[in-house]
Amino acid sequence: MFDYTNKTVVITGGASGIGRSASLAFAKNGATVHIIELQAPGWAELKQEMIEAGHPAHIHYCDVSDHQKLLDVFQKIGKPDVLVNNAGISHIGRVTNTTEEDFDRLFNVNVKGVYNCMFAAIPMMQENGGGVVLNMCSIAAWVGLADRFAYSMTKGAVYAMTISAARDYLQDNIRVNCISPARVHTPFVDGFLARNYAGKEKEMFDKLAKSQPIGRMANPEEIANLMIYLCSDEASFITGTDYPIDGGFLTLNT
């Protein structure tokens, strides 16, 4: 249904977690996928899976917070049809136990990284007659998640940047949206539980999963499916919107 043949898709953080599933999904739908990653230990396996899907992928090692290096990467890639700003990092802490260093680190990756990619990609999309930007937001932008001060700050900024850019480039045939997942079962979650709840991983996993009214975490493929739709021609009437994909977290929690 969703044909990405002859389209170039750039995905930041596209070699792990949600990004990995997105990279595979776009490739399976015909896209030429360019992944921007700081590090990608599972790249060889992902590359092989994408080749088997019929569309080889390309990886570019770059820190999304490095403005000039990112501009250089986009010059090598060429004009993108789709940009998925997926790269991001998390942090646990309140205002009073979030250090300045941690605050800056989250801002540089989660906020400046999104700005850097849009700064590089949007002029190319204008030259190309249009395009799609999809930013990774979070339910943390909308509710007060405990101990997620800096992370919530960055996702609130992502939402604001999304609707601002959507308005500014509407006449350029550039659509800009974001999605807000609740908890997604990725290797990050497993690593977090192993580090912080050794011996109680299953108990804590079940507790986190049941915090979604639907009774489980999302799997990365479900997030990727929404990405595929929102970046497709079939979604051509959608811009300036945040899509929660949260198992009812925002509306059904009491």
Provide the token pair at 145: 């998640």
Q: Respond yes or no: is residue 151 known to be catalytic.
A: yes
Alpha-helix residue ranges (DSSP H) falling in 2-66: 17-28, 43-52
Rounded Cα distance, 92 and 252, in Å: 25
Rounded Cα distance, 131 and 76, in Å: 18
What one-character-per-residue DSSP string does 194-224 give?
HHHSTT-HHHHHHHHHTTSTTSSPBPHHHHH
**CB of 68 closer than 8 Å to CB of 45:** no
**CB of 70 closer than 8 Å to CB of 116:** yes
Catalytic residue among 61, 115, 151, 159: 151
Residue 247 Rama label (left phi>0; alpha psi -120 to 50; beta): left
Which residues are CB-neighbours of 95 under 8 A, at least 6 positions away? Answer: 149
**CB of 227 closer than 8 Å to CB of 22:** yes
Angle at 16 between CA 73 and CA 161, to 5 degrees: 60
Catalytic residue positions, numbered: 151
